[in-house]
A and B are shown apart, each in its own frame.
Chain A
Amino acid sequence: MKGTCTVCDASVTLPKDTEESEIISCSDCKSRLVVQKISNGKATLEKAPVVEEDWGQ
């Protein structure tokens, strides 16, 4: 599965078991990206959301 990095436009290859909402890193620019949508074997990527105050475990 492939997607395009919204930061550097690189083509990003994703593992088969990638899920929507998963956070990944661009192999080129190392930006944190989120998998917004998966459709017909193509992933739509966006810049990952920034950490918010109530995030954690």
Chain B
Amino acid sequence: MITIGLLHSTIRGDEKLILEAAKKRKVNIKLIDIRTEIFNPLTYKIDFDVALVRSVSTVKGTYAANFFETFGVPVINSSSVTHICEDKFYTSLYLSQKKVPTLKFALVFNLEQAVQAVSELGGFPVVIKPPLGSWGRLLAKVNDMDALEAIIEHKDVLGSPQQKAIYIQEYIKKPGRDIRSFVVGGKAICAIYRDSPHWITNTARGGKASNCPVTKEISRLSKAASEAVGGGILAMDIFETDKGLQINEINHTMEFKNSETPTGVNISGAIVDYCVKVAKKS
């Protein structure tokens, strides 16, 4: 029988759904709280067939993924996929390189270059995001030069070195919503609309989830984006633009607990099935 090593920190509703889905499928789950592990390759004993990274902490999850890969254990998502998806700049670069429709972007380290980059992106407004970050935190819609100067000065004075990498993205006026597709092994198994009157539509910031039918365009775009970053279990944030659908960001430890009901799709079950499939292949 296959055992999935579920690498976690705090256990959210999403992890509970995965546990329930595994139980229904008679798949063993070994809960591994990575905060209390000792990652010593000389003493660590592996007693699972596949690792599923569900750490809410990106840093801890990435270290754990790298550790288990050195033992030859398949890790979902792999450290290389995580490396790309945890950083918005790297994600944009890979999408752009593979010609997957995505928003215009640039990365700079100083105000002078930021002014030039804004001009290259088509002018204000633009969106500044921390390259590493989630749940819509620290996003800034920058409408003019005054705001740009203020944001960059604040980052310069108050920010950690990571915050001094300034990722700038063109601003897209959304129709009061965006789309999130849930992609398992390259297939978009379902999608939701995230409705919000605010320009930030993350459900963590109050966006309301409702079912979004998976159209051919969503399916094609999701598959292409998944392939561009290395595949696995991913959630695509998609904007409806006047140029068609475009990928905004990709999440490598997707949260889905509020999406099973509106879509009617057993996302947790699909995650478990995928893990089993990968374990049997290895």
The residues of B with any CB-CB pair to A shorter than 8 Å are 8-12, 15-16, 19-20, 31, 33, 56-59, 132-135, 137, 160, 235, 251-255
A17 → chain B closest CB, angstroms: 7
| A25-57 at interface with B (beta carbon < 8 Å) | 34, 48-49, 52-57
Q: Is the CB of A21 within 8 A of B58?
A: no
Q: Which chain B positions have C-beta within 8 A of A55?
A: 56-58, 134-135
Q: Is the CB of A56 within 8 A of B133?
A: yes
With a 10 A CB-CB cut-off, give which of B11, B19, B20 has the most chain A CB atoms.
B11
Say whether, besides A54-B58, A55-B56, A55-B57, A21 and B8 are in contact (CB < 8 Å). Answer: yes
Q: Is the CB of A57 within 8 A of B16?
A: no
Q: Which chain B positions have C-beta within 8 A of A53?
A: 132-133, 160
Q: Is the CB of B235 within 8 A of A20?
A: no
Cα distance A53–B59 in the bound complex, in angstroms: 10
A-B contacts besides A20-B11, A48-B10, 6 pairs, CB < 8 Å: A17-B16, A19-B15, A19-B31, A21-B9, A54-B58, A54-B59
Partner of B33, one of A17, A20, A56, A57: A20
